[in-house]
Structure 1
């Protein structure tokens, strides 16, 4: 039997969101219904509301979520009712050329639920990143449910569903930070501080946080930065070189995604060092670098999409590290709110007042 539940809907580009009643259908083949317990407020949700992703309004927002599976459809073997899960937007297919080569984290054919959730008048909703979790219940593909230890608090577990995983993975998976490395992170918001936490977890011996906001630099120190740099006060490139014996960092992570920050990352790395782009650029942005410098400095220029994560591998491991006290996921939760507080959370996020607001039930 279909469920009518409260949810946060964005009806029109730029308009404030509203809490409305939506219809969540019974799960079909390969689908699951999840009772959402917590969902983080991510910049991607704001981009949907602003029309920056596409114009397929109305949107059902929310995607950084954790909850309990309440129903499963036919042929579902991954999870069963009662499982505590983190939702992910990379349900791998297992059949594409990346999956067949054992590189499932690059899957080219990830999938979502086939059925649509709707408004009560039957209008189909477009769920953010195929999830739509600012809701009491949501319908997803069963492969989007990653079972983890239920001892984890939902408000922190759900953050691995997007931003925190993107930052951790940028350091651990894409950047391959290892013990003794020097790491610089440009941009110390949620993703950047997660990259700092990942570098610390990997055993980096020098971690440099770079941001224009001194408050964010304080957060960076709390997550493991050994040094901080405010570009208002000195050149980030010169500062990183000075802090690394004149060489530059082994890995530089750009968590902003602008041409100027990418250029800084490129020149702040050591010879044969690695640049990781995890901040998301806009379609109009371009970068101009001397090709001789690209050739002469060697190393690697990498892009990190969702932290190059494999949810079935990474989410349970990271939750275990959190439960062991080795990964401070609690530090990312600035405030806990209800569904009707999402619009205000967008405003605070846009001002940089929070790392994460989390909707909890």
Structure 2
């Protein structure tokens, strides 16, 4: 029988988010209902609210989540009720040309639930279908997803920390390790030290990079970057970032430069801050109107690679359990990304803190007992 639960929606472009009653259908074939324990507040949720992704309002926000499978539909075998899972927005199809080539992290036909969650009776928009953020929609007590969006992990992991692998932390870690191929002895520079950039720093450090340079305009963020493994920091309002990176790498530039801002000027810095055969990885998300201009002779003369990283080129079934194991071993500080835990009604204030650069991640706790965290901590 369909359930009615509380969820956070964005009704229209720029409007403050609201907590409303949402109807969650029983899972159909290939689907699962997940009781959400905790969900991080990501910049992408703010982009949805601002109409920066598309205009398919109203949106059910939230996507960096961990919780427990409550029910599954016909044909679901990979997960079952009671499994502790991290939700992902890359449920690979296994059949498209990318999957057939053995590169499922580029899957062109990822799955989402077929059924829609709707606004419940008693609301002026009752019956309206909701567009779940990144096909998930997890600022809600229970959500409906495709079963392939559920990745089973060790239940002993904190849901508050584990859910962050669902987007930002995985994007940054994967940008360095999966896309950039950082390995032992490499020099790495990361431009932009928010949650994604810090995850790239942590990934580079864990992969064995010996020089890890953090670049930002905020000294608070640079100090945090040191906690995640940065060996050097550069405030680019005080020092030319390219010159500083070159000076810290014997005049050569870094082997891998991760651009975690998504702006033309920082991408240009990344391009010129790499070694002649180095790699630039763009993981920061630009807006559609942004353009970058580079002398073609410089592109030709430098070799190496210019790459973009979408979701850290991750394969959730491979990467999530591995990173949770590293977290449980004390080798990957997922807890360090959590600035505060909040309630379901505090998402709008979390957006304001995000604007001010005051948090790495606010995390909405929906089941305090299951998440093992005190709201407001």
**Common fold, TM-score beyond 0.5?**
yes
1:94 corresponds in structure 2 to: 94
User: SS in structure 1 opposite 2:213?
Assistant: strand
User: SS in structure 1 opposite 2:5?
Assistant: strand
In the alignment, does 2:118 pair up with 1:112?
no
- In the TM superposition, what is the alpha-carbon distance from 1:232 to its structure 2 partner? 1.1
TM-score, structure 1 normalization = 1.00
In the alignment, does 2:67 pair up with 1:67?
yes
In the alignment, does 2:356 pair up with 1:314?
no
1:34 corresponds in structure 2 to: 34
2:11 corresponds in structure 1 to: 11
| Cα distance in 2, alignment partners of residues 8 and 212 from structure 1 | 33
**Paired residues, what number?**
361
1:146 corresponds in structure 2 to: 151
| Cα distance in 2, alignment partners of residues 155 and 285 from structure 1 | 34
2:373 corresponds in structure 1 to: none
Any stretches of 5+ residues in structure 2 without a counterpart?
Answer: 121-125, 368-377
Query: C-alpha deviations, 1:244-302, integer Å up to 9, x for none?
Result: 01000000000001000000000000110000000001000111111111011110000
2:76 corresponds in structure 1 to: 76
| Cα distance in 2, alignment partners of residues 72 and 65 from structure 1 | 18
User: SS in structure 1 opposite 2:85?
Assistant: strand
- In the TM superposition, what is the alpha-carbon distance from 1:350 to its structure 2 partner? 1.1
1:239 corresponds in structure 2 to: 244
Query: C-alpha deviations, 1:338-359, integer Å up to 9, x for none?
Result: 1000000000011110000000
| Cα distance in 1, alignment partners of residues 238 and 357 from structure 2 | 20
In the alignment, does 2:290 pair up with 1:288?
no
How is 1:110-259 mapped onto 2 (pairs within 5 angstroms)?
A: 110-120=110-120, 121-259=126-264
| Cα distance in 1, alignment partners of residues 33 and 292 from structure 2 | 43
Query: C-alpha deviations, 1:45-65, integer Å up to 9, x for none?
Result: 000011111111110000000
- In the TM superposition, what is the alpha-carbon distance from 1:12 to its structure 2 partner? 1.0
User: SS in structure 2 opposite 1:29?
Assistant: coil
Superposition CA RMSD, Å: 0.4
TM-score, structure 2 normalization = 0.95
In the alignment, does 2:253 pair up with 1:279?
no
- In the TM superposition, what is the alpha-carbon distance from 1:122 to its structure 2 partner? 1.1
In the alignment, does 2:349 pair up with 1:344?
yes
1:331 corresponds in structure 2 to: 336
Runs of 4+ in 1 over 4 A off after TM superposition: none
